[in-house]
């Protein structure tokens, strides 16, 4: 079991690092203006990572693609925050968040990871979409693409992981999701080889559900009203990431690089007091999308 865990950790790390290079190249080409900045960092307790950030592009206001591999022992503060008694851990993963300038183009997030704690090892990850000016056909296409990837490995995955995503990306104090979901899974420890094959497929095709939406919407006109709504909804994104996101909590608890952990936050966001969209407006329609729905029905 120990040898299998170590081999899986090495294979997962190689997968994530290779995909980071490929994804960054594809995103830079898609933006057509800005390039990624790469920052390598080391963690004093063991390990480190590579952060890739594209800023102020034509398409992306900020795009981040991070890899990290860290190990060591949880200190008392981390143990109290994360729970359990086992201190030894190993974690390797890739995470990305894409924040476009245009409110007509959704934000996309994805991350995939392999963790061990003591003698236990498991995979987690997923991808979700946060549209602002919502288009039903885009949301359906995103979910349909992820269902196709899931179905290649297990016909039960999509329904299970879609429902899990809806639950996970809910903002309890707002009573709504941060977006329209996608797939999410965690603590998958049975048949690790099967799950690794699935995670590999997800990583290698992580942009395929998103890029057709970008191509359809990137040149659509918008005005100040749509931009204000985008910034207001980004505020919800910030609230979720800082209060509820497990990846953010894990990274901070294990003393990872703060700039890399918080790259998921948009460069601009707003909190408008008691905001109410105009009835019948696209913004009012968007608010109906941020609840669990069967998008493929």
Average pLDDT of each block of 10 consecutive residues along the chain (297 residues)? 73 98 98 97 94 98 97 83 81 97 98 92 96 98 98 98 98 98 95 96 98 98 97 98 92 90 96 95 97 97
Q: In what order do the strands lie in the sheet with 182-188?
A: 37-42, 47-55, 60-73, 88-100, 107-117, 120-130, 182-188
Give the per-residue pLDDT at 118: 84
Instruction: Say which of 99, 101, 109, 143 is annotated catalytic.
Output: 109
Cα dihedral 247→21→107→239 (10° resolution): 20
Give the per-residue pLDDT at 146: 98
Give the per-residue pLDDT at 288: 97
- Three-state DSSP class for residue 251: helix
Give the per-residue pLDDT at 65: 98
109 contacts: CB under 8 Å, gap ≥ 6: 95, 96, 97, 98, 127, 128, 130, 264
Contact 99, 267 (CB under 8 A): yes
Copy the structure tokens of residue 292.
């669990």
pTM: 0.94
Fold of 2-287: oxygen-dependent coproporphyrinogen oxidase (3.40.1500)
Give the per-residue pLDDT at 6: 72
Task: Examine the residue annotation and report whether 109 is marked as an active-site residue of this protein.
Answer: yes
Looking at the DSSP bridge assignments, the partners of residue 90 are 71, 116
């Amino acid at each position: 079991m120990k040898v299998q865990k170590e081999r899986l950790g090495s294979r997962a790390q190689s997968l994530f690092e290779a995909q980071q290079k490929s994804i960054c190249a594809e995103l830079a080409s898609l933006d057509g203006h800005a390039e990624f900045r790469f920052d390598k960092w080391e963690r004093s307790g063991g390990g480190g990572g590579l952060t890739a950030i594209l800023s102020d592009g034509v398409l992306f206001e900020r795009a981040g693609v991070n890899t990290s591999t860290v190990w060591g022992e949880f200190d008392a503060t981390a143990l109290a925050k994360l729970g359990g008694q086992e201190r030894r851990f190993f974690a390797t993963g890739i995470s990305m968040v894409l924040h476009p300038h245009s409110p007509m183009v959704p934000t996309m997030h994805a991350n995939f990871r392999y963790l061990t704690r003591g003698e236990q090892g498991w995979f987690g990850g997923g991808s979700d979409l946060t549209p602002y000016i919502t288009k039903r056909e885009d949301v359906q296409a995103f979910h349909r693409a992820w269902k196709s990837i899931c179905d290649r490995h297990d016909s039960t995955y999509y329904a299970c992981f879609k429902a899990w995503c809806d639950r996970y990306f809910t903002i309890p104090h707002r009573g709504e999701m941060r977006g329209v979901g996608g797939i999410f899974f965690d603590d998958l420890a049975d048949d690790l080889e099967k799950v690794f094959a699935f995670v590999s497929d997800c990583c290698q095709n992580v942009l395929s559900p998103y890029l057709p939406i970008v191509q359809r919407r990137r040149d659509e006109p918008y005005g100040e009203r749509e931009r204000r709504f985008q910034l207001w909804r980004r505020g919800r994104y910030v609230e979720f990431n800082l209060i509820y996101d497990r990846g953010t909590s894990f990274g901070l608890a294990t003393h990872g690089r703060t700039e890399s952990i918080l790259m998921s936050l948009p460069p601009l966001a707003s909190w408008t007091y008691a905001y109410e969209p105009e009835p019948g407006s696209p913004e009012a329609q968007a608010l109906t999308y941020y609840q669990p729905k069967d998008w493929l029905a």
